Amino acid sequence: MQSQRKTHVSTTVNGEPREFLCEPHQVLSDVLRNTLNLTGTKEGCNTGDCGACSVLLDGTLVCSCLVLAAEVEGKGVVTVEGIGEEGKLHPIQQKLLEHAGLQCGICTPGIVIASRALLEKNPDPSETEVRYWLAGNLCRCTGYDKIIRAVLDAGAVMRGQ
């Protein structure tokens, strides 16, 4: 296989302008992790089935393993590293800690990102809505119970309750 000329991409990651070179076939999760060293985005399947690589692309929740890195030219990417305010955890992160909503933690970055996307669209979701929204974020440790409670509680905090 011969080496192709790499693609130059200018984008915004977690609010900061970033530029990188990538192979045309490289997916965003690969570039985030191995080029930009943002390893908070995890890879559990690389087929869009586990949700560990969830990021926001121009505000839309996507699996970064199913986005070509070249596609993010001119767009904005938010990863788990960009979720909290400077030096402060996001309410979703804080509530996951308080509710013990993580064990091994490999799915946690994806859960954090997906939950933020949900609560921005729907600040007061029902338990069922949270469960269906997070159906694409596999967790094998917790049985989901404490994750769901954490997200519902984070919603309440964000609504000022």
Site for another protein in 121-160 (CB under 8 A): 127-128, 130-149
Site for another protein in 40-69 (CB under 8 A): 40-52, 54, 57, 60-63, 65-68
* 2 near another protein, rule: CB under 8 A: yes
* 104 near another protein, rule: CB under 8 A: yes
Report, in Å, the least distance between residue 36 CB and another protein: 11
How many Cα atoms occupy the beta-carbon half-sphere of 145 within 13 Å? 4
Q: What is the per-residue DSSP string for 94-112?
A: HHHHHTT--SS-SSHHHHH
Q: Would you call 57 helix, strand, or coil by DSSP?
A: strand
Report, in Å, the least distance between residue 1 CB and another protein: 5
Report, in Å, the least distance between residue 33 CB and another protein: 7
